[in-house]
Structure 1
Amino acid sequence: MTTPHLDEEPAKHRRFTRYLQALEAVAETDEVALVAAILRDQDTTMADSAVGRHLDRLAPDLLTDAKFTTWAQTLTEVIADRDFLTLRLREWTLLRTIALGEPWTAEELTGATDWFQHMAAATQIAPSPEALRLLAERGRTRRARNAASQQLRHRGQPI
């Protein structure tokens, strides 16, 4: 016996895999068009997940690159109506701000998602000692607080 849900699920998984492969191979000049096409998929959760993985794959490499700002601004226009993706790109931008030593606020850091707090605390992308201390003291999860404390110890910084 088959049901529409069971019959449809493998096709959804195949589309997801194809999207990830296409995003990994896409030329910089075609990226926006591909992201827009993926976001037109009727399964918005799956489409958001594929594009979210794409953001998470590219952002670390671009974080301290001058291209990041243009890349983020261009994608912001395409993902503007997708809350999850907009938040994720905003948090990558905040991590860039911290990594480059630009101004940020404690509220931005403590109000960020658990994912972001752990990413900022655990990454080797050089978050500031001030950001790490704040996360070690006021990170929302034990995981983020511990990661930030470990980073500070690893760098020989007081906690």
Structure 2
Amino acid sequence: MSGWSDTGKQPDEDEHQRFNRYLQQLADVCQEDEAEMVRVILRDPDEVMAQSAVARHLDRRAHQLLTDPGFGDWFHTMATEVGEQGFLGRRLYEWTLLRSIAVNAPWKPEDVLAASDWFQRTAVQILTSPTALRLLAGDGRTRRIRTAADRRLAEERR
């Protein structure tokens, strides 16, 4: 791997410094090295910090690839690294649900309503599907989500 260091090579760094370094490394990583970098970061002794850095990366990359045909391959590679259980697995799953809605692939309303608050807020921000926005406007988990979805619907009608 070129251009980045393995965890543990700088034991004097505190978690804040490592977190910022991980974010920068993930932002700069080439596609070929991405999976290995994620794997290395997830071996950091501070599991919560490592998962947080990887989650930010997953969010950034998934948003970039949302309607890209390469999303599926990227998803499978990342799912192999983060596993299907736990926070990161759920976040990846929710990005696949967002993608399904964004590219007009089949999706189930009950999956949208069962998804996390993060998912519902993100869906309202990035999706343009009137069906999904109507669903969230009527049955979103929080008043904030329902109101934001209502506003988005009004914007999309203009």
Name the TM-score, length of structure 1 as normaliser. 0.88
Which residue does the alignment assign to 1:66? 69
Query: d(CA) in 2 for partners of 1:108 and 1:102?
Result: 14
> Structure 2 regions of 5+ residues with no counterpart?
1-10
Query: d(CA) in 1 for partners of 2:143 and 2:153?
Result: 15
Q: Which 4+ runs in 1 deviate beyond 4 A? A: none
Query: d(CA) in 2 for partners of 1:136 and 1:81?
Result: 30
Query: d(CA) in 2 for partners of 1:30 and 1:122?
Result: 30
Aligned mate of 1:50, from 49, 53, 59: 53
Aligned mate of 1:19, from 16, 19, 22: 22
CA RMSD across the alignment? 1.7
| 1:1-159 aligned within 5 A | 11-80=14-83, 83-123=86-126, 125-126=127-128, 128-156=129-157
**Contact 2:67–2:103 (Cα < 8 Å) also in 1:** yes
Which residue does the alignment assign to 2:7? none
Question: What is the SS of the residue equivalent to 1:96?
Answer: helix
Number of equivalenced pairs: 148
Tell me how far 1:10 sits from its aligned partner: 6.5
> Structure 1 regions of 5+ residues with no counterpart?
1-7
Residue identity (%): 49
Name the TM-score, length of structure 2 as normaliser. 0.89
